[in-house]
Amino acid sequence: MEILVLIVLIAAVVVGQMALYGRRVFRHLEYGCRLDREEAREGDEIEILETVSNRKWLPVPWLKSEITTSRWLDFAGAQSVVTDKTRFVPSFFMVRSYQRVQRAWKVKCLKRGVFSLQSVVLVASDLLGMSSFSQPVELDSEITVLPGELDAAAEFSAPRHLFGEFSVRRNLLADPFFIAGVREYAQGDPMNRIHWAATARERRLMVYQNEYTAQQSAAVILNIQSREFESREVIDAPAVEDAIRVCAWLFREIAGTGVPLRFLANGPVEPGGREPVVSEEYFGEEHIHDLLVVLARLQLRSTQAFPEFLAEWYDGVAASNIFLVTAYLNEEILNFARDKAPAGVRVRVFVTNVLDQAPEDVEVYCLKDGGREPS
């Protein structure tokens, strides 16, 4: 009889503590998970802070949080599970009565974009681990990861060295309407800058020498398509991501000149968006930062074919210097550059793939041999 009573008592205790934890384990249990900043740059290391506060006498012997976030936020030292676009990170706690526990995760931003801590599921058990209880927690923490820079001065060259290595002069933007004189032709000079009268007189190729002034403007045009014939979704994402990094580099270089800048791209900034990016022409660090945020938010899908985009905005791009960044080169892009030349507009085309050849009448720069091959 005594054994039976003991068994009943033990069973009552087990069932009682299971019922107690089922009702109270999440009561007065506070959980928080947040990013330590709202903005970072591609490749930066940030922190994600988890906080658990148990504001009751009942201890929580085993608590697991399952964080759901983007795969492009890499948790150092975590045994995470990665799917196509999502990362699941488990985290374990033991919280005593009236205790507060905080954990900091080191996280590396692998890619540009806007990422959030989407949700967390808390799973707790009773004292004996015989039953488990779960509860979802909604989170509201977001970070904008600005793109890194692909240094065109180091990574790009002319195809087959037709124009020589690409090097940055002390100013990317020479004023085509301010002629300081003439000088001898050098590799990389566009053909439309040749001074024919001076060439005949000197019996060697001579070109106009432009002075550096503030009376000019710049436009960066990004082609979000990776192929000439492509549906809305980008096929060669790495090539387009490199193009975005080139744009970030151009923004920084142009920012140092103090000239007005506008940015155009045939891609949306919102998921499912249909509007291309056409910024106002402005200057200053705040404007450059706003453009970098636009680059961070750009979706890898096109709003319209690039030739149509160029045709629509042809007259609206009135800058004296145009930097066109694309993953491929075709006749529509080359003709755009040729058509702008008679008006004194200098167009430079950056191609984020290795090219075999390019026409000599357009300034085209591509990845050096040995760079990233197209996927």
Residue 108 has a pLDDT of 94
Residue 228 has a pLDDT of 86
The C-alpha angle with vertex 290 and arms to 289 and 295, in degrees rounded to 5, equals: 95
Instruction: Identify the band that residue 111 occupies on the pLDDT scale cut at 50, 70 and 90.
Output: very high
C-alpha to C-alpha distance for 62 and 126, rounded to whole angstroms: 8
Task: Give the β-pairing of 363-367 and 346-351.
Answer: parallel
- Rounded mean pLDDT, 340-345: 85
State whether residue 50 is helix, strand or coil: strand
Instruction: Identify the band that residue 103 occupies on the pLDDT scale cut at 50, 70 and 90.
Output: very high
Contact 80, 88 (CB under 8 A): yes
Region of 309 (left: φ > 0; alpha: ψ -120 to 50; beta: rest) is alpha
Instruction: Identify the band that residue 262 occupies on the pLDDT scale cut at 50, 70 and 90.
Output: very high
Residue 154 has a pLDDT of 79
Element housing 374 (H / E): none
Residue 127 has a pLDDT of 79
Burial of 78 (C-beta count, 10 Å sphere; 0-12/13-18/19+): middle
DSSP tag of 163: S
129 pLDDT more than 80: no
Q: Above pLDDT 70, what percent of the chain?
A: 83
179 pLDDT more than 70: no
Query: Which amino acid does the sequence have at 59?
Result: P
371 pLDDT more than 60: no
C-alpha to C-alpha distance for 124 and 132, rounded to whole angstroms: 6
- Rounded mean pLDDT, 317-326: 89
> What is the chain's mean pLDDT, rounded?
83
Residue 88 has a pLDDT of 92
Contact 237, 226 (CB under 8 A): yes
> Between helices 237-255 and 285-297, what is the axis angle to 10°?
180
Instruction: Identify the band that residue 366 occupies on the pLDDT scale cut at 50, 70 and 90.
Output: confident
- Which residues partner with 367 through β-bridges? 156
Instruction: Identify the band that residue 16 occupies on the pLDDT scale cut at 50, 70 and 90.
Output: low
168 phi, psi to nearest 5 deg? -90, 125
Please name each of the domains of the chain with its CATH number: 29-146 (2.60.40.10), 152-178+213-367 (3.40.50)
Structure tokens at 6: 């003991």
169 pLDDT more than 50: no
Residue 23 has a pLDDT of 78
